[in-house]
Structure 1
């Protein structure tokens, strides 16, 4: 066979290379230590699958539902000396939850049985359960659930007449939203009063929640509802069939007002002035901050003037807010429920019951400040006083003057009307007239009233073997509520304009000193010699 001269040379080169490789072959006999492992190389192991990780973290989740994925990764690394991926740890945690509490689909089927047991053993519990029919006979879809326990309903009558409402999303296999109504007792303790599991913060969902909340939990007059400016909440409050707009008030959270202000005006300094307007306890203080906005921006002034003053200011609300300018009580409860929001629905309802039962098991600056006030009695018959506030009681230099009317329960500082507690000026006036200031303290702050909030027994649910048989329809989750998006669902709140962002100071990448960049660093080494 004839081959070309070029092809012959190539074959000769390959043969010579094979011979060189044979004679120069290196045999590795022993390795003392690895020096070629990349830091970024994955340390996961295919045998260490989600089932094995699940078996090792089940005891952790039984004791603490708040175990984070990062903690699971550290736990597996300490036990097996392998670092698993975040996705594997997240999947293993969901498997462990399903192992402990059952599958999500079965949890929907068990929900009517649990609710029936609560109606039997926990009398007085308000349960409103809504379903929709399916194509299969004997099966229904879960829609909404409203839940309020009798001790919470009776305890609210001794709390401040305010209700804060908010919603937080569920993080389990099926989408949904947990709606909360929260109050506060006279000892500044958060007091949850009602819950609801709905499809989202829609108009129909808020109508259901506010209607049953008004009918069964908060039927008292002069109740103040505090929320954000969500259009669905406003619509549900103004709906006459829900019963809120006759003898109650709806006000806005000042943090959400500040968020809306930033979206419209985009000025942090003016936002601070607007927040100070909302917190101002008296009309002169309110007008002071309003004038500062007027000097800076007529557009911002028109924006704040467009809002009804009783809806967002303390100076013009008539004391109905009791000093609560935000919906932070509901936000705090959202963080309390953060670790159980990923549970199956029946386990979530059970967790709210047991946590409320545990809550029911827990059963002066103004006086010091009043010593620096000078009181001039103005009208003995009407108990009207002029109180001069001084910076230093020894100098006697007047700082400001306030009028106090004890019969009308009014002080020019505005704190007496807003908080329903005697301010330092009222205490100084009472001391001057040899009167006790205790009658001017609202009953809600007294110890007897605070104890009465938790003076109701929380009944216990009997053993599951004693529950009656459930013969109703089988409850199934809606298919459109299943999470189809890949990856883990978000379980933390998205930061918005209401959050304070700290601007990081730029530093040099070499010497970590601010004021210059790395290519301008005076401490950088010079050229090599």
Structure 2
């Protein structure tokens, strides 16, 4: 573990990044200086780049304040693997959250992940300061979701929007998965409170409503829990000197990758565990039996059908 003082570790950054490049070939390590004074540092490990190719095309981005002697802000991007678990991608230390720092981070991230068109990627955030403007500049066509918890936090701060009925109605609208369910839920909300309906209707449906999400993300995620999970995972590093901080984060990421690799080799099945759970859910299949008439056939396990199809 790196044990130099907060100030002394800055003189060793080039050595640290050089060693990281040697031990992790293909990794991106970038240091940005302002008149020979540290300003920003970006790291994306090669293993994370490769692993993202097997993740869902959705990235959660967030930032947190560092508590070390020199302060600063840590920005991070995490993905979702096929089992709906956290997959850290890249992290950066910047002076603060602003349009310039977010733009710098997103440009490096999209290059490393080889995101050639923003049509094929979805981002989720809490709409941090400067992020919306940076997204419009770097990824103008990307789907940009808002964490529903962040939206609800703004909702409950309005003195007019009080009461459990309104809270439940709001979440019911957000969680509706198809158009008719959404329309019924929004009508119920409108009947409860016209001001709430107007407030919600002014927001882009594609940013917070499941029924309006693009299918390209392959995820119905409403909350950025995985970003919070990452921040909790590295919480003990927040007040450490800069290289100690970076090394603790790198170690946590490598441990996470090793854990996933070990789990993967122990599972000899067609589907990952979370997909298997969903496929094993009982569902109803409508069969047409005449004009405007349907018969509902109950199927207990879709996984059996999928497996048999794959084995043919």
- TM-score norm. by structure 2 comes to 0.83
Q: Distance in 2 between matches of 1:257 and 1:387?
A: 40
Question: 1:312 Cα deviation (Å)?
Answer: 1.0
* 2:130 alignment partner, one of 227, 232, 239: 232
What residue number does 1:216 align with? 112
Question: What is the CA deviation profile of residues 334-381 of structure 1, one whole-angstrom value per residue up to 9, with x for unaligned ones?
Answer: 0111001111001111112222222222225653524xx4753459xx
What residue number does 2:271 align with? none
Question: 1:332 Cα deviation (Å)?
Answer: 0.7
Distance 1:284 1:439, change over 3 A: farther
Q: Distance in 1 between matches of 2:301 and 2:17?
A: 56
Q: Distance in 2 between matches of 1:219 and 1:179?
A: 19
What residue number does 2:10 align with? 108
What residue number does 1:357 align with? 254
Q: How many residues are matched? A: 287
Q: Distance in 2 between matches of 1:429 and 1:115?
A: 51
Is 1:388 the equivalent of 2:296? yes
Is 1:274 the equivalent of 2:187? no
Distance 1:377 1:438, change over 3 A: farther
What residue number does 1:481 align with? none
Is 1:153 the equivalent of 2:49? yes
As a proportion of its length, which structure holds more helix?
2
> Matched residue of 2:93: which SS?
strand
| Contact 1:182–1:190, Cα closer than 8 Å, also in 2 | yes
Distance 1:378 1:102, change over 3 A: farther
> Matched residue of 1:104: which SS?
coil
Q: What is the aligned-residue RMSD (CA, Å)? A: 2.7
As a proportion of its length, which structure holds more strand?
2
Q: Distance in 1 between matches of 2:227 and 2:64?
A: 10
> Matched residue of 1:360: which SS?
helix
Is 1:437 the equivalent of 2:303? no
Question: What is the CA deviation profile of residues 283-340 of structure 1, one whole-angstrom value per residue up to 9, with x for unaligned ones?
Answer: 1221222122212221111000001111111101132441111111111100111001
Q: Distance in 2 between matches of 1:439 and 1:206?
A: 47
Structure showing greater radius of gyration is 1
> Matched residue of 2:211: which SS?
coil
What residue number does 1:330 align with? 227
| Contact 2:72–2:93, Cα closer than 8 Å, also in 1 | yes
What residue number does 1:123 align with? 25
Q: Distance in 1 between matches of 2:196 and 2:9?
A: 51
| Contact 2:282–2:301, Cα closer than 8 Å, also in 1 | no
Q: Distance in 2 between matches of 1:374 and 1:141?
A: 64
Q: Distance in 2 between matches of 1:440 and 1:220?
A: 34
Distance 1:440 1:325, change over 3 A: farther
